Amino acid sequence: MVVKIGTSSLIDAVTGKIKLRTIDRLAFTLAALNHQGYEVVLVSSGAIGVGMNQRHLTKRPSAIAEQQALAAVGQCELMRLYSQRFNDYDAQIGQLLLTHDVFDYPLSRAHVLDTIDALLANQVIPVINENDSVAVDELDHRTTFGDNDQLSALVANQIGAELLIVLSDIDGLYDKDPHQYPDADRLTTVHHLSSDILQSAAGSGSRLGTGGMVTKLKAAAMMMKANHQMVLASGADPRIISHILAGEAVGTWFIKKEHTEKEHMAQ
């Protein structure tokens, strides 16, 4: 499986402080799954946010070079924290920083996939992030993924992962913006990304449409197209991953209906 955790789950939006408890619980949960024989890949955002914390900045700079410098600083600290916490639970990690070019070219793609396979074969958890310090859209080069939601779906499909779990600052997909409508209902299962769902997520003025939910739905579409599954759930406590794997009614499952019917027939 691939687990993606966003910046909002790792960095406190008000104080800018790193959520150390969240990192610890994430490491504990993934290490436990690793010990149980699961092949787990972590896609982690947060480099720039951690860099801002390290540099004691309260406002994200607008200059690309300054953002990339923060990513360079933050990635080092983020990996230090991950390494420390995973070691506490007797699990090893390995870092991969990727750009879109890696998947665009067959040879580099094959090398990256071979590396991931080798790490998993040795019970090492790959920790993947976009290489923010070098990734820019320039001339004929397509280096950026745009966001780690789509990166996680791309990685999941490339390695044949059966499940993508996206941990976010919202606990699932709702039929309307829950911040504006108290009667909004969380969708427990989505079999088809209809135009109504996509339009509501992209609606102007909606918090769901400020880039966050749209990219998650694009990731879900990628997984469903490949006949795999995705779950969108709250990243406030990463131990929710265990509840997801236990089949509890948390988050929103994105799964093709025919895929569900095949599983039911097999049972």
- Residues belonging to the binding site for substrate are 45, 132, 148
In order, the DSSP letters of 205-236 are T-GGGTTHHHHHHHHHHHHHHTT-EEEEEE-S
In order, the DSSP letters of 95-136 are EEEE-HHHHHSHHHHHHHHHHHHHHHHTTEEEEEEE-TTT--
Question: Rounded to whole angstroms, how far apart are CA atoms 210 and 70?
Answer: 23
Question: Rounded to whole angstroms, how far apart are CA atoms 22 and 117?
Answer: 27
Helix (H, G, I), strand (E, B) or coil at 92: strand
Helix (H, G, I), strand (E, B) or coil at 91: coil
The candidate with the shortest Cα–Cα distance to 73, out of 97, 54, 57, is 54
Helix (H) or strand (E) holding 29: helix 20-35
DSSP-derived pairing of the beta strands 2-5 and 41-44: parallel
CB of 39 within 8 A of CB of 120?
A: yes
Residues at the binding site are 4, 45, 132, 148, 168-169, 210-216
Residues at the binding site for ATP are 4, 168-169, 210-216
Residue 106, phi then psi, degrees to nearest 5: -55, -40
